[in-house]
Amino acid sequence: MRNKKQGNYNKTWRTGFLILCMGTAVYLGSASVSAKGVHSMEQAKKLAQQKVKKATVTKVEADTENGVPVYEVSLHKGTKEYSLKYRQSDGKLMEYEWDLPDLGYGDQNKPNVSKATIKKKALKKVKKATVRFIQLKNDDGRMEYKVRLQKGSYRYTLVYDAKKAKLMEYEQKYTGTTVNSSASKDIGMDRAKQIALKKVPGATVTEIDRDKEHGSVVYEVKLVKGHYEYEIVIDAKSGKILHTEKEYDD
């Protein structure tokens, strides 16, 4: 009788130990995506589906952005199209954006909502953020407000329809350090901003990106002044302006 009980005990102990090991393996498997990075398209796909639940993945591809390997996942849910970018090294979400199809309102000479209303809606959407600028634009006959905000290491771009104040596009982008660089060999974003503002005094900087162009590391600075949009490309080592673009925006 004692041997039978002992056998049952050993069997129960082995079963419990096996379940514990399986549970630990599942936990470690799920945690490894963020702890050790994203190393396959399938992992990137699963992360995106966790972020946008019940969405359909339409495309997954490996890419490089600002010198950093990323996975870009495109999804579709309802009327929204999503795009998410994950850094391969640690699985960090670098970009998250969605947009709606054109509402087709046709020509609009004047907006129906004010800039103050749009600002209030944007700050409600991205709480505790700082509004960098709000710009009213005509996009193929549709008047829209483009709002740029900053919150911590993230930059947000929101596009509202100027007729009904409907949010049409949403983008969240990580603006922290993404490329390893020596401080002594790189002018940095703040210096690039100063150089661009010296070139276009009185302008508002709307975007700064560190990228590669023809094998050289550069800063691409975008500015707005009046009805003009500027893009200034600056060498990241010397601070020299490589070229400038100026475009009229009606």
DSSP 62-125: EEEETTEEEEEEEEEETTEEEEEEEETTT--EEEEEEEPPP------SS-SS-HHHHHHHHHHH
Amino acid code (one letter) for 181: S
CATH for the 37-99 domain, from 3.10.450.40, 3.40.50.1110, 3.20.20.80, 3.40.50.970: 3.10.450.40
Domain ranges across the chain? 7-36, 37-99, 108-180, 183-248
The domain made up of 108-180 has a fold known as: Nuclear Transport Factor 2; Chain: A, (3.10.450)
User: pLDDT tens, 94-142?
Assistant: 999 999 876 555 555 678 899 999 999 999 999 999 998 899 988 877 8
The pLDDT assigned to 180 comes to: 46
Higher pLDDT, 142 or 52: 52
Instruction: Note the residue count of the chain.
Output: 250
pLDDT tens readout for residues 130-165: 998 899 988 877 889 999 999 998 999 999 999 889
Fold of 183-248: Nuclear Transport Factor 2; Chain: A, (3.10.450)
What would the pLDDT profile of 59-90 be if each residue is shown by its tens digit?
999 888 777 889 999 999 999 999 999 999 99
Contacts 24+ apart (CB under 8 A), 240-247: 241/195, 241/199, 242/213, 242/218, 244/199
Please tell me if the domain spanning 108-180 has the same topology as the one spanning 183-248.
yes
| CA atoms of 100 and 103, how far apart (whole Å) | 8
Interatomic CA distance for residues 94 and 114, integer angstroms: 32
**In the prediction, which pLDDT does 149 show?**
93
Q: 223 and 243 in contact (C-beta within 8 Å)? A: no
